[in-house]
Amino acid sequence: MDQLPALIAPALSAPPGRLWLESLQWLAPSPLATRWLLLADLAVIATLAARSRWPLLALPGALVGGLLVLTGLGMLLTDFYLGLLLFHTLTGLGALAASGWRRWLGAGLLALTLGLGLAT
């Protein structure tokens, strides 16, 4: 017990209320990967909005709604990068819930988020 694994040691220094949150930090992608994932989120949101009944109204509404959700998650989790991780996951799950070929966009975004989170 003298040597703790590198993944557990930062979490043990956190306050008890954030212990579960700090344990997810190893899954968060790096800042550079997050920029590319935000572009992937934008593409998924724009694709879902473009297939709506009124795409000219749905696209700006979906983008504003996405930014509000992203800001809310960042404030709720008090860690911006964990908020981004949850936002990427929710965007991918939302696209998975869509019908038709857009499901593959969600699956791809979830795989990309998980892969970049583990690699970076």
Tally of domains in the chain = 1
In a domain, 6, yes or no: no
Residue 96 lies in a domain: yes
Domain annotation covers residue 58: yes
pLDDT at 8 over 80: no
| Whole-structure pTM value | 0.77
The pLDDT value recorded for residue 41 is: 93
Q: Residue 14 — pLDDT band, cuts 50, 70, 90?
A: low
Q: Is the pLDDT of residue 11 over 60?
A: no
pLDDT tens profile 63-95: 999 999 999 998 888 778 888 889 999 999 988
For residue 116, give both structure tokens: 């970049």
38, part of any domain = yes
The whole domain housing 54 covers 30-119
Residue 93 to residues 17, 50, 105, 107, 109: CA-CA distances in angstroms? 27, 18, 10, 8, 9
**13 has a pLDDT exceeding 90:** no
Torsion of CA 75, 37, 118, 98, to 10 degrees: 90
